[in-house]
Structure 1
Amino acid sequence: MAEVNPFYLGVFVLYLLIILAIGAWGYVRTEDVDDFWVYGKKLGPWLATWSYVANFVSAVSVIGFVGAVYGGGYSILTGIILGLMLGVSGLYFVVHKVRELNHITFPDIIAELTGYEAARPIAGTVLFANAWVYLIMQLVGAGLLVTVVTGVPYEYMIWVIGGVFILYTVLGGLVSVAWTDLIQGTLMVAMVLLALVVMTFDLGGIATINQEFAAIEPSHVRPLGGGTYTVIGVLGSLVAFFGTIFTSQATVVRINATKDIRTAKLHLAAAGVILSVFYVALILLGGATTVALESAGLGVDNVDRAFPVLITEYVPTEVGVVIILAILSGILSTTDTRLHAVGVTAARDVYDYFADDPSDRQLLKVSRASTIFFGLAATAIAVDPPGTIIELYEWRAILLTSAFLVPVYVALYARGIPGKAVLLSIVSGTALGVGWDFLGGPVGIPATFMGVGAAIVTLGIGYALWKGEAEPTVAVGG
């Protein structure tokens, strides 16, 4: 057991208390289920922008991406980040179509496009799997960080972190989440930029860092790394991570929480600029972390521990506090978003489908109860996680993109697609994409290609079989 660092532990406890106070304030401001789910559809551009930025940047970004640079170099820019930024750019051009439908969740949209209410629990099941994996990733990242810097054992700290996440999300729903995201997003971007400045001065400048980074391993500065990615692998990754932007429940909920279409478009454009700058700074910080640890003889076996070790063993305490706040901000802001999405999905897309005309009060209770249940379940799994942060991140990207990207957005623009064809495409894309990934991507074909390919083929077959048939209509509440 590591020695407890009272200074870092005190900073961490103070941070959690501030977040809980905002959650309590959000509870007072949450009057009905619409407030809990979508902020009463009153999110303005400033709050929406920073909430989206904070939701976007997670344990994957701050710990996982720095660890990926430590292990494989700058190729993560090509393999993952380019796809994410293309996704944000692409979503800007279709966001008006999503906002015009004026629904709450992604399954709501699918139900209207297909004409089948059953689409809500079908899509909701996929979204549950995605959100649960994402929760596990965030908790693992938070637990690793706080354990290393405070000295408190991981198996204890993970439950403290999970409990705080659950509590303040349950209290105020999107009201709590949006306002904590505003604080955390601003803090996160500012602190990462400041940390990069400090490390740049310490190591002699960006050019020097890159030269020493390449000297450690020449492939670190190659676009595809040293075999980390192949061309077909990069293409598959671009599709996968592009698709996650279009198919995230949290993203759709935020779009539909904005007060109008103009705000929805503006917040995506502004967030895209902020995120682009942030990720460039973060990847450079990953290079600086690698150089600093190697020069100090502080190499690590688990790449997810590279950044926490930098904080505790290399940088001065006052700089370490700055970095801790940045990482905690990224992790907390994304975890509360996924917890909130789980509650919305459980109540809106599953319970509301099977229940007999539930009241708003019942739906609010189910949202809160499911947030607690799934949050505790994710925390329990995070005690002994099934893979590294990046491995989990890649899996959920395959899941979402294979399931939804093709059928939903084709149906959104070509409204004559039979609903049964869309549902068949969702099911087949999910099954083949996830199944192919489980088999390890045989014959070198990325799982995303197989999932998206299956979705395209079955959508075409379904269109040929059911074209011209009368479709049912559903009245999905807004």
Structure 2
Amino acid sequence: MGIETLITFGIYLVFLMGIGVFFYKRTSGVEDYLIGGRGMGSWVTALSAQASDMSGWLLMGLPGAIYLYGINQIWIAIGLLIGTYLNWKFVAKSLRRQTEETDTLTISTFLEKKLGDNTGLIRNFSAIVTLVFFTIYSASGLVAAGKLFETMLGIDYQVAVVVGALTIVFYTFMGGYLASCWTDFFQGALMFGAIILVPTMAFRAGGGMDGMEAAMQVRDMTMNIMENGGEKIGFAAIISSMAWGLGYFGQPHILVRFMSIKSVKELDKSRLIAMIWVFISLGGAIAVGLTGVSLFATTDMMGGDAERVFIYMISKLFNPWVGGVLLAAILSAIMSTIDSQLLVSSTTLTEDFYKYIKKDATDGELMWVGRICVVAISAIAVVLALNPGAHVLALVSYAWAGFGAVFGPAILATLYIKGINWKSVFLGMLTGMLVMLLWKELGYGAYMYELLPGFIANGVSIFAAEKIFAGKKERKAVQG
């Protein structure tokens, strides 16, 4: 990359860190630091929710999969689009109301208070799950950051991971939730512009539709979403890909955006903004992968890694100044997710553990505990991300499945089943976790995404357990 690109990129990094410093002076209490004082507007809520959702997966993972395997990978995007809408429609308002009624800042404490669990089992289990999977999820973002910095700066991958981590940690450490949301807002806008501009230019440079079709024929790829390498895609494969959409109901870094909006009335507007953003952005990511086929005949032209197709496309098509801005969009996708994940992990450690250990902790103390937790989680994620052979999509897939299988049915049941027994929900969460892990470890994930069996097992367990507990209540009432 030229010096112009690095200057542009550097200015953007300084801008993000400046936001962290700005909100450091405007964060007066732990609720401000962890959830923005429940005062976020519709635009910031919408763009920050979707930017933190899509991550480096949008600009690296999905285009790379489309480049390698073809348009049949679109079923993942379709599932995500449907899941996004359902999450905004059926979870956002209820969660915003009920978390304020229970005065809770995390999913773990919300489940505990709403369900009336006095044992601490749900809170502790939920908190541990959150920390484990967010550490893996954050590592996926650092892998993407490492690939970006390695390609741009020509530095060792492992050094690049550390550089990316330090940048993200700085503004999250300083400004907390407010800095996270506002950086996500700007990053979401930048991602949106880049995902439209880059594939449009690539389409023209690659010879339009004729050039793309010719290149795809060489690779034995088609524009038929029902085919993969000339063979028909089975129904199970389609359902497996679309099952990604089920994960939305259990993603803490997205759900916390609903909790932080200043008014339930703002959520309809936020949903409209979010759906437009998601529809266009997913379409753009697919277009990047397809147009990349006509620009790069083999992955060797991209350093041997298909997930770098967007990076190489920018360097090939744009002058260094514009290239710096567009590359910043990739970093935006990465940062907007990691900062949210680090903050939710920090909130979990602060609210679900430290606050229960030291009940008389002051707001100032809790804020600094939160900041220290950001650094600690980041350090663990860096260690996981140091493997240069790690793939963004694989790490995201595992963490996404974990959250969806454990929290998805639990959140829906808690929000919509009045008087549900906390033991039913806890049993469902345990079952969802075990089925998801076993499905993955036994190798069945090659046939069906582990999120789906985990989600179903969780839901069935909740329903069955609730029937059992309801029967016991009736028998006791009759005996009494």
Shift of 1:300: 5.3
How much does 1:468 deviate? Answer: 6.5
From 10, 20, 26, give the equivalent of 2:7.
Answer: 10
State how far apart, in whole Å, the 2-side matches of 1:437 and 1:369 are: 33
* DSSP 3-state at the match of 1:259: coil
209-218 or 244-253, which moves further after superposition? 209-218
Match of 1:390 in 2: 393
Instruction: Kindly provide the CA deviation profile for residues 113-137 of structure 1, in whole angstroms up to 9, marking residues without a partner as x.
Output: 4211431221111111221121111
Q: Deviations over 1:205-225 (max 9, x none)?
A: 3x2354234323343423243
2: CA distance, partners of 1:361 / 1:262: 32
Matched, 1:43 2:47: no
CA–CA distance in structure 2, aligned partners of residues 59 and 357 of structure 1: 40
Match of 1:214 in 2: 216
Tell me the CA shift for residue 104 of structure 1: 2.2
- What is the CA–CA distance in structure 1 between the aligned matches of 2:390 and 2:222, rounded to whole Å? 23
User: What is the CA-CA distance between 1:56 and the residue it aligns to?
Assistant: 2.3
Checking the alignment, whether the CA contact within 8 Å between 2:60 and 2:310 is kept in structure 1 is yes
- Are 1:184 and 2:180 an aligned pair? no
Find out whether 1:231 has 2:235 as its counterpart: yes
Distance 1:131 1:413 in 2: 26
> In 2, distance between residues paired with 1:269 and 1:429?
32
Q: 1:73 aligns with which of 70, 73, 85?
A: 70
- Do the aligned partners of residues 201 and 251 (structure 1) sit closer, same or farther apart at CA in structure 2, a change above 3 Å counting? same
Look up the match of 1:105: 106
1:440 aligns with 2:471: no
**In 2, Cα distance between the equivalents of 1:409 and 1:174?**
25
Residue 236 of structure 1 and its aligned partner are, at CA, apart by 2.7
- Residue 170 of structure 1 aligns with an amino acid whose one-letter code is F
1:195 partnered with 2:194: no
Report the CA distance shift for 1:296/1:134 in structure 2 as closer, same or farther (over 3 A): closer
Q: Which residues in structure 2 correspond to 1:7-406 (within 5 Å)?
A: 7-78=4-75, 80-94=76-90, 95-101=92-98, 102=100, 103-116=104-117, 117-205=120-208, 207-224=209-226, 225-226=228-229, 230-239=234-243, 241-294=244-297, 298=301, 301-312=304-315, 316-384=319-387, 387-406=390-409
Distance 1:380 1:198, change over 3 A: same
Instruction: Please report how far the alpha carbon of residue 322 of structure 1 lies from its aligned counterpart in structure 2 after TM superposition.
Output: 3.9
Identity rate, percent: 23
1:361-389 Cα distance to aligned partner (Å, 9 max, x none): 23212211111100111112211167311
Normalising by structure 1, report the TM-score. Answer: 0.90
AA matched with 2:78: L
* CA deviation map 1:305-354 (0-9, x unaligned): 33333344565534533431221121121221111111111111232234
Cα distance, 1:35 vs. partner? 0.8
Which sits farther off after the overlay, 34-43 or 224-233?
224-233
CA 1:187–1:446: 2 relative to 1, 3 Å: closer
TM-score, normalised to structure 2, is 0.90
Contact 2:140 2:385 in 1 (8 A): yes
- Aligned CA distance change for structure 1 residues 260 and 138 (closer, same or farther; 3 Å): same
1:234 partner letter? I
Distance 1:275 1:70 in 2: 20
8 Å CA contact 1:149, 1:311 repeated in 2: no
Q: Deviations over 1:47-71 (max 9, x none)?
A: 2222223212311110111111111
Residues 158-211 of structure 1: per-residue CA shift (max 9 Å, x gap): 111101111110101111111111221111111221212222222233x23542
Contact 1:166 1:375 (8 Å CA) reproduced: yes
Give yes or no for contact 1:75–1:228 (8 Å, CA) kept in 2: no
More off after superposition, 291-300 vs 22-31? 291-300
Deviation at 1:444, TM superposition (A): 3.9
Moved more, 262-271 or 303-312: 303-312
Which runs of no fewer than 5 residues in structure 2 stay unpaired?
474-480
Deviations 1:139-162 (A, max 9, x none): 111110121122122221211110
In 1: Cα distance, 2:232 partner to 2:176 partner:
40
Secondary structure of 2:296's match?
A: helix
Seen in structure 2, the aligned counterparts of structure 1 residues 399 and 228 have a Cα distance that, compared at 3 Å, is farther
Q: Distance in 1 between matches of 2:60 and 2:299?
A: 20
Matches of 1:113 and 1:213, distance apart in 2: 56
Q: Distance in 2 between matches of 1:203 and 1:353?
A: 59
Quote the Cα distance in structure 1 between the aligned partners of 2:140 and 2:162. Answer: 14
Partners in 1 of 2:311 and 2:74 — Cα distance?
A: 21
| Aligned with residue 453 of structure 2, among 450, 474, 478 | 450
Q: Is the 8 A contact 2:41 2:262 kept in 1?
A: yes
Partner of 1:476: none
- CA distance in 2 between counterparts of 1:395 and 1:73 reads 22
Query: One-letter code of the match for 2:238?
Result: V
